[in-house]
Structure 1
Amino acid sequence: MMIPKTVLALTLIAVISITPAFAETMAIEVDGLMKVNHAVSYTSTGIEIESISADLESIALIFQVLVSESESEGDISITFDRSVFDAKIAGEDDEFFIIADGEEITFTEEKDDTSRTLSFSIPQGTEEFEIFGTILFNESFLLKLEELEKAQALKEAEERKEFYASIAAMDEAAQRINDKIAAEKAEAEAAAEEESRTAALMAACGDGTVYVDGECVNEGLLGPQSEPVDSGSLINSVFAAMGIGLAVMIIVWGIFRSRHKKSSVVESDDS
């Protein structure tokens, strides 16, 4: 049996034009601290989910998506594990609520005792959609998350403390350097000012005058410059002179006595 060429061509066109659907499993990121793996699975046509994050306050899952530019819209079916994400009121199933770029999205649902599957379409250009429920994670998970958040807060507080301490230490070091530079500058400026003032005063002194102790003094009033006297040498000179004088006196006394004795002998002989 031969298949008409027209039917074969239409079949090939239909096969080629069908955009393949991909089955994926995604993890849910929670406050940047935890990831819940294998909590969400989906199949899509023309839609790629880039990330899923949890909003614990709104009890919602936020999907960052990329819709194919070759399609006017993309189709997606998302399955949730009821132990992770669900919508219930008074123990009975409630409706989920889907928003895509500010617009409410209609959907169909299939469910059983362990999971719920939502199927819907979103237009090209959509970057994000949110699904709101009433239950997000169980109590033990939330307690563990709370412990992680406290530990993270303590870690961040310690990091801030160390950061501010290092900033304060650098500020103190910079202040010490600035104080030293300012002191050296002030000292240099004072020395330069004194040198300039002294040079100006010395230049102001006329011929025959010199600058002494902050004022110009006539050279003639200063008198001859005397050399300092060594008191030790002076004492030695005095004692030396006294010794010489004593020796001279002894010699003179000796000569006088010798002459007196000779005179006495002559007088005795004459008698």
Structure 2
Amino acid sequence: MRYAAVRVALCQITATADPAHNLSQVRAAVRDAAARGARIVVFPEATMARFGTVLAAVAEPLDGPWARALAGIADDHAVLIAVGMFTPAGDRVRNTVLLTGLGHHLGYHKIHLYDAFGYRESDTVAAGADCVTVTVDGLVFGVATCYDVRFPALFQRLAELGASAILLPTSWGAGKGKAQQWETLVRARALDSGCWVLGCDQANPRFTAVPVDPSAPTGIGRSLVADPFGRVCDRLGAGSGMLVVEIDSATADRARAATGVLANRAVAMG
């Protein structure tokens, strides 16, 4: 059997309230990631504009100017970009991961909204309903966003749809124990699904000197990659940075054969 391998860059930035400024950050990071051989370049949730911004004022459709600019950047560097943005949804918005480049241009709308720890994302954001996968160089990638990581069924469903890896753009809320929860959940979802899980968080604004709304989830940094056995392969600290890793489908197959998690789950659930 021929196994696929893909190099992925996680770009840990702090988004501002200005989509144009954030686009310039993305452009520079994609250039650097492509120079390091990345085929997929991942940015955090809410890269278009940080939480605490009036999201309806910045939301654009997937064929709008912000997303079209990203498509041009992806084409210029022959990469797939995965980046958090907001798209219109009536009187609210959708929290969307744009996937553009290498023949793709589509969005994943966050399914599980962050109504937790005193925050109510659903007040301004409408939930999505559909799982999304994309294939790059023969390897299937699923997509999830931030709070989705607390729900194992989504990750197992993406594995059932053929994913060997799951891209996880995030803007993780700070608080007591939240950093430990973040790592635990990423590693657990990798084990649950037998997938690589690539968690790309916003950099901690305390380390990047970007003004933010302290009541909003604006990131803690600590982006990390867990392999399908739940082992942390690499990670970043709290500040800005880039993490480049090579992932493969063979490790996912080995993990699933060893743990039996997907096969035994199917038997147990009939």
Band the TM-score falls in, shorter-chain normalisation: under 0.3
TM-score (norm 2): 0.23
TM-score (norm 1): 0.23
